[in-house]
Structure 1
Amino acid sequence: MKRRAFIKSGVLGTVASVITTSTQAKMVTPSEVEGPFYPITPRKDQDADLTRVAGKGGLAQGEIIDVFGQVLDTDLKPVEGVTLDLWQANSFGKYHHPHDTNSAPVDEHFQAWAIMQSGSEGRYKFKTVIPGAYPLGRNQQRTPHIHFKIAKNGYVSLLTQMYFPNQVLNEQDGLFKRKSASEQAMMTAKAVGKSNQYQYDIIIEKL
């Protein structure tokens, strides 16, 4: 009887897990504020490698990473041809933006901004550096994050931020803390292996 009870509880646990995962998967990726530093200075180089700037020989400073994932709809079907407009602070926590008064240095070899489209099966990939934290007032810091604007005709546009796992500042970040546990999970990239790769899947909603 104990064995049967154990098997039954295991089966029920597995079913509950599947139901929970399915429910979470159909949630739209949570939205977030744009912030004050969306790029306003035109840059010719907006490709998927943010670690180099066209015409300059140097490499961006910081920990270089690959971010990849899929754009899906709420039925978990891949969405091809989605425009992903992304920007972030450099490894010192400085935005390449004239209104950023942070005293951290500008990295002239960091592209800071990219625009791309999801390809076959809704997949996308870009190379960048882990953004640094930056001060927010006297006693606060924003945890490392990457901004995304996501758009395609026939779908609800999405403005969100991608967070990194195992960041101590996540639990102190005001915007991150406002989200529920399931929302935080959807907005946090997953570390893949030991090769500085992060997976971040995005779910958008049809109009």
Structure 2
Amino acid sequence: MKLHRRHFIKNITLGSLVGLIGTHVHARTLTPSEMEGPYYPITPQKDQDADLTKVVGKKGKAKGIAIEIYGQVFDNQGVPLEDTTIDLWQANSYGKYHHPHDNSDAPIDENFQAWAIIQTKAGGHFRFKTVFPGAYPLNASQQRTPHIHLKVSKRGYHSLLTQMYFPDHPLNQKDGLFRSKTRQEQALMTAKTTSKANQYRYDIVLAKV
């Protein structure tokens, strides 16, 4: 009797734990995809770490407002994905890409890293530091709203190419790509402010192959 009772209690405990874990895993909507754009980095660089506000070997700091972006990568069942590769790039604070085909008059910032390749950690967490990207082309009548490009990949999942936007930016509703999305898609592609100044949260959801 005691043995049966012990097994019964053990099964009840395990069932309760599974139930508790299950409450934290929710199905999630996939992050919408977006075009790559013309300025994916093609110039090799050794420094590709998570701090884009400085370049190894240079003493200066990138111009502009320093911001921090953090979040998690999940699959569409809500499971966090560790060791996911996030390849990200953006314009500098003047709206200039560190790319030979960007011939705009905006200045190049030699102290801005411009491109990073990072991995998610336990729990699918990632974090990087950068500067708020400028709109481009400089002084054009129609400009792209500030955004960050991301290529997200992990074995066993469909790779995602997308763009992250910033909340309440006045150019969002003038940007053709942003406006082409539904309101739900816009929300999924827009970072969220936090209680900390110049900090944003952005979660990413991938689909299994």
**Normalising to structure 1: TM-score of the pair?**
0.86
Query: Cα deviation per residue 1:48-89 (whole Å; 9 max; x = unaligned)?
Result: 000000000000000000000000000111001100000000
Q: Give the RMSD, CA atoms, in angstroms.
A: 1.3
> Which letter maps to 1:127?
K
The unaligned stretches of length 5 or more in structure 2 are 1-25
Structure 1: distance between partners of 2:61 and 2:140? 32
Q: Which residue of 2 aligns with 1:142?
A: 144
> Which letter maps to 1:148?
L
Q: Which residue of 1 aligns with 2:15?
A: none
How many Å apart are 1:194 and its aligned residue?
Answer: 3.6
Q: Which residue of 1 aligns with 2:121?
A: 119
> Which letter maps to 1:36?
P
Q: Would you identify which runs of 4 or more consecutive aligned residues in structure 1 move more than 4 Å? A: none
Structure 1: distance between partners of 2:31 and 2:168? 20
Is the 2:94–2:138 contact (alpha carbons within 8 Å) kept by the matching residues of 1?
A: no
Q: Which residue of 2 aligns with 1:173?
A: 175
Q: Which residue of 2 aligns with 1:107?
A: 109
> Which letter maps to 2:158?
V
Q: Which residue of 1 aligns with 2:71?
A: 69
> Which letter maps to 2:103?
T
Q: Which residue of 2 aligns with 1:42?
A: 44
Is the 2:106–2:138 contact (alpha carbons within 8 Å) kept by the matching residues of 1?
A: no
Structure 2: distance between partners of 1:37 and 1:159? 14
> Which letter maps to 1:116?
I
Corresponding residue pairs, total: 184
> Which letter maps to 1:153?
R
The unaligned stretches of length 5 or more in structure 1 are 1-21
SS of structure 2 residue aligned to 1:70? strand
Query: Cα deviation per residue 1:74-126 (whole Å; 9 max; x = unaligned)?
Result: 01110011000000000000000000011000000000000011111000000
How many Å apart are 1:27 and its aligned residue?
Answer: 1.6
Structure 2: distance between partners of 1:101 and 1:162? 24
Is the 2:147–2:166 contact (alpha carbons within 8 Å) kept by the matching residues of 1?
A: yes
How many Å apart are 1:195 and its aligned residue?
Answer: 2.0
Rg: which structure is higher?
A: 2
